[in-house]
Amino acid sequence: MGAGQRLDAGDQVPHVTVHTVDGRRVSYAAMWQTQNLVLVALPSSHSISERALGQLRALDTSDTRCVITTDPVPGIVPPAVLIADKWGEIVHIVQAANDLPTVEDLAEWIDYVRQRCPECEGEAR
């Protein structure tokens, strides 16, 4: 990805450190190779309801981390959601002004990431 380009499926997640909407500092490098990632990037002027925040936090498991931030992330124009495997490959990304995926849709993508076989996909190419 060159400077100013948007991230797309197949790209690598940039190793950034962001602050979550509830004030925690999260370094992507600390979870790389150990956890899948759901990154929700919101505009700085955006507020999120406690209900929505709770639903998104429910996506956090031992193998998946959900990070919700208003900090800038290179290659992402908020509002946006990306899902990446533990190796940092973006599997799904939505950068949309209005309709971001539902929590149920995100959960389905996470299940897909858990079940996919990178070795098998390599053989299919």
pLDDT band at residue 116 under the 50/70/90 scheme: confident
Average pLDDT estimate for 83-110: 90
In terms of Cβ atoms closer than 10 Å to its own Cβ (0-12, 13-18, 19+), residue 32 is middle
Name the least confident of 7-16, 64-73, 109-118. Answer: 109-118
The ranges assigned to domains in the chain are: 17-124
Listed in sequence order, the DSSP H helices in 58-116 are 103-115
**Average per-residue pLDDT for the chain:** 88
H or E, element range at 17? strand 17-19
CB 109 within 8 A of CB 91: yes
CB 71 within 8 A of CB 18: yes
Q: Look up the CATH superfamily of 17-124.
A: Glutaredoxin (3.40.30.10)
Q: Model confidence over 30-52: pLDDT tens digits? A: 999 999 999 999 988 877 778 88
Give the per-residue pLDDT at 4: 67
